[in-house]
Chain A
Amino acid sequence: MPEPQPYDPAIAGTGAGGAMDLAISEGSSLDGGPGGLPKDPSEKARSLWSDALRDLRRNPVFIISGLIILFLLIISLWPSLITSGNPLKADLSKAQQGSSPGHPFGYDPQGRDVYTRVVYGTRTSVTVGVCATLGVAIVGSFLGALAGFFGGWWDSILSRISDIFFGIPVVLGGLVFLSVVTGSTVWPVIGFMILLGWPQIARIARGSVITVKQNDFVQAARALGASNSRMMLRHVAPNAVAPVIVVATIALGTYISLEATLSYLGVGLKEPAVSWGIDISAASNYMRNAPHMVLYPAGALALTVLAFIMLGDAVRDALDPKLR
């Protein structure tokens, strides 16, 4: 039977102290000093943003959705580029007629050209989507970032308020709010979306800021005597903004469909405004006889929402690969 050998770390080969002594005395340059980096001096410095952009450019989902969105933006700014018609010109004698030369999508129940109305409806949808998203992102990230950064009672109050807003059913809230605040423009609808949408972004921003705030580099800035605003703007915000952008981009699509929903229910936009929701609503009674009057605006709506959600997905993959 062999002699019991007590465990000796040095013999067993952990010898951390020994390895260190060796390295100290030799002063080796394993970690490279000046020469240890990628050699090419012309290599451009890359930030995480430019990394993300490079990822995006290679992503077919981003390219396809980007092209669709670019097209939508252009025709919402200059609808006359692809149609010469007037979306309000009605010719009852042509009501519900199918497609004909010059009028590829046919006519709606009022005898208006569906193609022209779909094109002009883009402007409404894009305006609502973009403005609501911007408003929600600004209000939500501002309040959420404050709550996350300062914490304390301000955080508690804000979190409870956002809980309350989360409890409001969107469509019911829209019916109530928009039957009080009326108008035929897009602004009451956008206002309602900001009112109900900010808590979502505020939560994301709050969580993101809390995560970033705990990083040592924020503490390092504090140790250097940096002010709160400097820490917030230089150190916290740039590192916390990615999740906000991702969620906002995905939400953009849902705001567009929410506008259509509210308009369909008769509380969003109202005639004479041109909106896909209004057209779907007006045409849905004739669905069996003339389905084209519903299908074209609905198709445009679906394509637009899909494009924005795909864009959101691509942006998320690029900015936060961990979520993939």
Chain B
Amino acid sequence: MSDNNTTTKAASVPQQRDAETATPLLQVKNLAKHFPIKGGFPIRRTVGAVQAVDGVTFDVNAGESLGLVGESGCGKSTTGRLLTRLLEPTAGSVTYRGQDISHAGRKQLAPIRSEIQMIFQDPYASLNPRQTVGSIIASPMEINGINPSGGREARVRELLEIVGLNPEHYNRFPHEFSGGQRQRIGVARAIALEPKLIIADEPVSALDVSIQAQVVNLLQKVQKEMGIAFVFIAHDLAIVRHFSQRVAVMYLGKIVEIADRDSLYLRPRHPYTHALMSAVPEADIDVVKKERIRLEGDVPSPISPPSGCRFRTRCWKAQDKCATEEPPLVQISGNLPGHLTACHFPEDPTTERTQDIILDPALVALEDEPAGGDKA
């Protein structure tokens, strides 16, 4: 990930997007998923709902890679499963190439299934242990009745080669492969039908760090060579920065900030984005040390999220307005076009800060202890 690389890419991104904004590949509007909580006896009633995703709006353009970041439980994976229609949304719409698929049945989805694919987080759970690699990768073709010229087996061998596996391992079972190799099999299955869009749900989180890089590089190669759009769900900011042209930050079921990669990483506005950025470990000791933001407490329960701005309970800038009025996701003054932030009192567009912000008293105590921080 060199700096030269990033800047050249960033320059080309706006033009590319201008050309394609006319027809976004995937449009998501006010998407929501509430999981009902059942309780009571003798008749089970709905007593509440986990508002996993609550009003998410974004577009994905053809060939583009959108990163979706946020902490555990913020609704990233649920969003991914809504996009692939593994879950049915409670409200809002998912539009793929102008066709609303939010409530489409299996028959209506059939032609779209082959164009939207998914890569799963856990390479140990996403491959059927009773099927050979060959039949796993051939299953997309089988289900969709596709017979490539030269036969399915030849195509499977070709796919194995594309993802960097030995085509001779066609007849092996998943348990004979390592985690990274299994994830490659998952990638081969996802690209078997040459989809237009791949939802990658934390595709590298379960892998060893050195293997993560290889799988990310493989995904990048696939994306470039086949022009596939990606929704890349992750909680590792470094990987998302490496992979995505645009990044959306989610907090408790909502997008709090969405922008082009460099705009978001270099000029973040939302306090939560600031907090996330300041938590990224910095390996380069020459870089001026950034001050950090320590958030207090946990993410509030998605069963009864805070009123107004959902981040206000942990935000150091929160005021009365934040509790009463929900900030809209808009382009606030000082932002580049396409950089949307949902905040009443945004931070300065910089990642440099002069002072630590520590909200948790326990952490303050830890900081004060000499040498305590080093050993921790």
A residues adjacent to B (C-beta < 8 A): 1-12, 14-21, 23-25, 27-38, 41, 45-48, 215-217, 219-227, 230, 234-235, 238-239
Show 9 A/B contacts (Cβ-Cβ < 8 Å), sorted by A.
Answer: A2-B370, A4-B367, A5-B373, A9-B282, A12-B374, A45-B176, A217-B128, A224-B140, A224-B143
Complex formed: what's the CA distance from A15 to B130 in Å? Answer: 38
Are B374 and A24 in contact (CB-based, < 8 A)? Answer: no
Question: Does residue B335 face the partner (Cβ distance < 8 Å to A)?
Answer: no
Measured between C-beta atoms, what is the minimum distance from B117 to chain A in Å?
7
Measured between C-beta atoms, what is the minimum distance from A1 to chain B in Å?
7
List, in ascending order, chain B residues with CB within 8 A of A223's CB: 84, 86, 113, 116-118
Complex partner residue of A17 from B121, B186, B282, B373, CB under 8 angstroms: B282
Complex partner residue of A225 from B2, B114, B169, B212, CB under 8 angstroms: B114
Complex formed: what's the CA distance from A34 to B121 in Å? Answer: 22
Are B214 and A17 in contact (CB-based, < 8 A)? Answer: no
Given contacts A8-B289, A24-B217, A31-B211, contact A225 B367 (CB under 8 A): no
List, in ascending order, chain A residues with CB within 8 A of B175's CB: 48
In B105-145, the 8 Å CB interface with A consists of: 106, 109-110, 113-114, 116-118, 120-122, 125-132, 139-140, 143-144
Measured between C-beta atoms, what is the minimum distance from B155 to chain A in Å?
15
Interface string of B167-205 (1 = CB under 8 A from A): 011011101111111000010010000000000000000
List, in ascending order, chain B residues with CB within 8 A of A217's CB: 125-128
Question: Does residue B216 face the partner (Cβ distance < 8 Å to A)?
Answer: yes
Question: Does residue B242 face the partner (Cβ distance < 8 Å to A)?
Answer: yes
Question: Does residue B376 face the partner (Cβ distance < 8 Å to A)?
Answer: yes
Are A19 and B127 in contact (CB-based, < 8 A)? Answer: no
Question: Does residue B298 face the partner (Cβ distance < 8 Å to A)?
Answer: no
Complex partner residue of A37 from B125, B126, B176, B284, CB under 8 angstroms: B176
Are A20 and B239 in contact (CB-based, < 8 A)? Answer: yes
Measured between C-beta atoms, what is the minimum distance from A235 to chain B in Å?
5
List, in ascending order, chain B residues with CB within 8 A of A29's CB: 214
Question: Does residue B369 face the partner (Cβ distance < 8 Å to A)?
Answer: yes
Question: Does residue B15 face the partner (Cβ distance < 8 Å to A)?
Answer: no
Closest to B192 in A: A224
Closest to A30 in B: B210
List, in ascending order, chain A residues with CB within 8 A of B165's CB: 33-34
Question: How many residues on the B side are at the interface (Cβ–Cβ under 8 A)?
Answer: 75
Question: Does residue B19 face the partner (Cβ distance < 8 Å to A)?
Answer: no
B residues adjacent to A (C-beta < 8 A): 1-2, 81, 84, 86, 106, 109-110, 113-114, 116-118, 120-122, 125-132, 139-140, 143-144, 164-166, 168-169, 171-173, 175-181, 186, 189, 208-214, 216-217, 236, 238-239, 242, 280-285, 289, 356, 366-371, 373-374, 376
Given contacts A17-B281, A21-B1, A46-B173, contact A28 B144 (CB under 8 A): no
List, in ascending order, chain B residues with CB within 8 A of A239's CB: 128-130
Are A225 and B110 in contact (CB-based, < 8 A)? Answer: yes
Complex formed: what's the CA distance from A113 to B242 in Å? Answer: 86
Complex formed: what's the CA distance from A36 to B178 in Å? Answer: 9
List, in ascending order, chain A residues with CB within 8 A of B118's CB: 219-220, 223
Complex formed: what's the CA distance from A31 to B121 in Å? Answer: 18
Are B211 and A30 in contact (CB-based, < 8 A)? Answer: yes
Given contacts A4-B369, A5-B373, A31-B211, contact A36 B125 (CB under 8 A): no
Complex formed: what's the CA distance from A238 to B129 in Å? Answer: 9
Complex formed: what's the CA distance from A68 to B350 in Å? Answer: 79
Given contacts A27-B214, A224-B140, A234-B131, contact A16 B373 (CB under 8 A): no
Complex formed: what's the CA distance from A63 to B168 in Å? Answer: 36
Complex partner residue of A33 from B121, B144, B164, CB under 8 angstroms: B164
Measured between C-beta atoms, what is the minimum distance from B258 to chain A in Å?
23
List, in ascending order, chain A residues with CB within 8 A of B281's CB: 9-10, 14-18
List, in ascending order, chain A residues with CB within 8 A of B282's CB: 8-10, 17
Are B370 and A11 in contact (CB-based, < 8 A)? Answer: no
List, in ascending order, chain B residues with CB within 8 A of A31's CB: 178-181, 208, 210-211, 214
Closest to A49 in B: B130
List, in ascending order, chain B residues with CB within 8 A of A37's CB: 166, 169, 172, 176-177, 181
Complex formed: what's the CA distance from A16 to B39 in Å? Answer: 43
List, in ascending order, chain A residues with CB within 8 A of B356's CB: 6
Are A20 and B238 in contact (CB-based, < 8 A)? Answer: yes
Are A216 and B120 in contact (CB-based, < 8 A)? Answer: yes
Measured between C-beta atoms, what is the minimum distance from B315 to chain A in Å?
22
Closest to B287 in A: A10
List, in ascending order, chain A residues with CB within 8 A of B217's CB: 24, 27
Given contacts A225-B110, A225-B143, contact A48 B130 (CB under 8 A): yes
Measured between C-beta atoms, what is the minimum distance from B132 to chain A in Å?
7
List, in ascending order, chain A residues with CB within 8 A of B109's CB: 225
The 8 closest A-B pairs by CB, nearest first: A18-B283, A7-B373, A225-B113, A31-B180, A23-B213, A216-B126, A34-B166, A9-B281
Closest to A241 in B: B130
Measured between C-beta atoms, what is the minimum distance from A303 to chain B in Å?
35
Complex formed: what's the CA distance from A3 to B367 in Å? Answer: 12
Measured between C-beta atoms, what is the minimum distance from B167 to chain A in Å?
8
Complex partner residue of A230 from B131, B143, B211, CB under 8 angstroms: B143
Sample of 4 further A-B pairs with CB below 8 A, known A31-B179, A48-B173: A7-B374, A15-B281, A23-B213, A215-B126
List, in ascending order, chain B residues with CB within 8 A of A219's CB: 81, 86, 118, 120, 126
Measured between C-beta atoms, what is the minimum distance from B240 to chain A in Å?
12
List, in ascending order, chain A residues with CB within 8 A of B166's CB: 33-35, 37
Are A47 and B173 in contact (CB-based, < 8 A)? Answer: yes
Are B106 and A10 in contact (CB-based, < 8 A)? Answer: no
Given contacts A34-B164, A239-B128, contact A222 B213 (CB under 8 A): no
Measured between C-beta atoms, what is the minimum distance from B237 to chain A in Å?
8
Complex formed: what's the CA distance from A277 to B106 in Å? Answer: 56
